[in-house]
Structure 1
Amino acid sequence: MDALTLLHERVSVPRLVGPAPTAEQQQAMFRAALRAPDHAYMRPWRFMVIEGDGLDALGEVFGQAALADTPDLSADTLARYQGLPLRAPLMIVAISRHQDHPKVPVIEQDLACGVAVGNMLLAAHAMGLGAVWRTGALAYHPVVRRGLALDENEHILAFLYVGHPAGARKAVPTLDVNEFFSRWPAES
């Protein structure tokens, strides 16, 4: 697949099945992440790779977070929270690491981490894998932060779910470029 086709055809794949990406596929994704633009070469990111029993352990953390918010949570709803990490055979938690720098504000550090996630999505698609970037309230929950032992300067930017597509990929939406891009100053 050439680079432009890859960029033009990538879509999120929310329904994923095993097996998990191979070690070689994971390394290709990780290498792609580390090529993200990074002002001042700060490497303002780190990534947790979770699979196997780790997904169950993360599900327990998600369940604890849900119970912290709603102590009388139904058993079915608790089980749903605990099962969230099991939506794919591999999860990568992308963590932005804010660092003091006179020329690189934290927004640029978050953007660099976000591009690293985007690069992993593209790499997964290039290898025929499926992937979807999720966040939601759990990405910002203090129980999840503690459960993953995040430092004070660290913030979850993505739960990247990766596996094999469970069925056909959805069609690539057709967007009109002119709805999003304009010339400035406006031509008369």
Structure 2
Amino acid sequence: MTTPNPAAMEFFLSRRSRPAKLLRPPVPSEAELMPVLTAAARVPDHGKLEPWRFLVLEKPALTRLAALARARGEEIGIAADRLDKGVAQFADSDLIVAVIMVPRPTDKAPEVEQVLSAGAVCLTLLNAALASGWDACWLTGWHVHDPDFARGALGLGEGERVAGLIHIGTAASAPPERPRPDVAAITTWVRK
């Protein structure tokens, strides 16, 4: 049996993301970010396929991406409020780790398991950033789900998709606690 880790359990019972719009510098340095990325890469990965990779987006790249998102959004007719929100996600950020889903053609693990593994990378990256003392948030948006934007702006290859944008920084304040699920109401015990 694994040794209990009460501190880790307390972290999971109290962890919470910080809204991306509240995140400011300082952000982790490359040396500070590498253990976070290393932790994120230790997720279940059936067949050892590594069906994901990281793009670390720093401020100059984020400024460029904001302009490209605005141009693409206007080109495809995204409503003004959605357009502004997508652009701000890049313009107002100082560090984002994009987790890229890289499906591998194989009989070892169906694509759904590879997608879930990429999602596990996003959550583990978020939690590792929080556990390291940073504030963080997991988002996506219309821009990263647009194949032309993803290929042209982010350099994604054939079949690659953005699983998540993990914003990391320092929050000046914490928002109020939000309601959490009633676990008893959503849990069914099957005993026979």
Establish whether TM, by shorter chain, passes 0.5. Answer: yes
Q: Which runs of 4+ in 1 moved over 6 A?
A: 76-79
* SS of residue in 1 equivalent to 2:104: coil
Do 2:59 and 2:94's aligned partners in 1 also have CA atoms closer than 8 Å? Answer: yes
Q: How many angstroms does 1:94 deviate by?
A: 0.9
- Pairing 1:34–2:41 present: yes
Q: Which residue identity is paired with 2:61?
A: G
Q: 1:136 to 1:52 in 2, by over 3 A?
A: closer
Structure 1 gap ranges (5+)? none
Q: Output the TM-score relative to the length of structure 2.
A: 0.85
Show the 5 A alignment for 1:59-70: 59-70=66-77
Q: CA deviation at 1:3?
A: 0.8
The answer to whether structure 1 residue 180 and structure 2 residue 170 are counterparts is: no
Unpaired runs of 5+ in structure 2?
Answer: 1-5
How big is the alpha-carbon RMSD for the aligned residues of Structure 1 and Structure 2?
2.3
1:166 positional shift: 2.3
SS of the residue 2:112 aligns to: helix
* Equivalent of residue 16 in structure 1, options 11, 16, 23: 23
Cα distance 1:66–1:9, how it changes in 2: closer, same or farther (>3 A)? same
> Share of identical aligned residues, percent?
28
- Is contact 1:117-1:160 (8 Å) kept? yes
- Aligned pairs for 1:1-188 within 5 A: 2-14=7-19, 15-70=22-77, 81-146=86-151, 147-171=153-177, 173-185=179-191
Alpha-carbon shift at residue 171 of structure 1 (Å): 2.2
Q: TM-score, normalised by structure 1?
A: 0.87
Q: Which amino acid aligns with 2:48?
A: Y
Q: Which amino acid aligns with 1:131?
A: A
Return 21-30 or 163-172, whichever deviates more. 163-172
Q: Which amino acid aligns with 2:49?
A: M
Contact 1:6 1:122 in 2 (8 A): no
